Structure 1
């Protein structure tokens, strides 16, 4: 082992300049021969899409395609060293799925021969839609005991842009969660918002105001219950009411609450005829929560 190490050290320590020059000469000779030899070289090429009409948006597409090049070493060396892009024109696309022939791609590589791994691929195009969307702020943590949120107000207007097929069903988007642990006074904060896939926003940071008030409880009695039945069957009893409902929330909101703001219902549309014991669904304005209700369940007979 020591003998091998000694030979290795001697190679670099004895007349090193001449040996380095010899190595450089050998590499140059190899390189000169190599660049004049024919080779095959395969790499993934990124696809750049151009010419998409302003009223359309690209929903799904192929990001890169595998290409095999053949030619002399000097030409393939330039291809290896350069960030190649295949240009795909979308001037003539329509809404829906479009088949793209790879022979129609523009790949600027000079006289080098090349072949694509695929003969064609598809891109999905949709109409572009713009609309104002509401921002929903998830809450994390608990306020200081005895306090409630009175409202969360967004100062910025958020405009979403994206495919019509996706955006038409979106009315609100979520922000990052807001930590309110031990807060007891109104405050303002900047938070980030996160769009769904394929959706762009006019802003990704918004300023919000969280209004906080002392907690108040209030009792409502004799609230009517609406019975929902798509088949309009006979039921017994015909009239229902909630004897007692205790609500809690920010003082100003609870104090201004009216009976008409509270919706209570029981849906029996999916139930078979017979006797049932069912809970009521209580629908309340935002930031108002039920503490308890009496009774908890109702006996209903469906004919």
Structure 2
């Protein structure tokens, strides 16, 4: 029998031991969508493990309230997203029972951090969206903090790039080419790897080509230039091998390589610094603009 979590909490206050997180979710009448999503993503069984885990547990109502944030018409659309596992992993702190939630940042299984704010009795966890914690349920292997208003979404590539401050020209070009939404929340959950030239890289490119930024933004080939920097799927630095990969610029490939010290190059151009994680992919920073053939 499924129980609402407040009732589950009542029963738990009278029992010597709670259940594991997976069973609490399965037995909850308010978390059918979360159960379905976790099962589909292969994560429900993980939350039955030893843990300890801390789970931000959105109710069915929270999933419904978040559909517009994702440009989804129905819950089925949300469950069909390629980035579903990324979204769910962003709700899980995989190594500790964090109770109470305290102001600051919290690591997630998705590898990005979420921000916790506490103002009086109101606790919120924030990524690209803000989930208000309404209650909590202790489990044998951790704790669930229940959100009834929103699911917790990790920030997408577009937001991460904007906040970074080094990709102004790239973002302006993506907007001009009509590609900005490709890297936002409402992109149907597609995952991307972006080899992203910095503003300095674009400035050097403009100087080398003897053109202005306005010339570049009005170039009929702007979209193809940008697509040449993007690979479908999320490819982290430790997953990159010596290989040729297709780009969004159909028929044009990038040549990836990795030096003996682990440094990655793209068409011979070194990737600068650490990768920048996002909810719908990853950014690898480039000091040069790549020209498609």
TM-score w.r.t. length of structure 1: 0.20
Q: Select the structure that is richer in strand.
A: 1
TM-score w.r.t. length of structure 2: 0.20
Relative contact order, higher structure (CA 8 A, sep 6+): 2
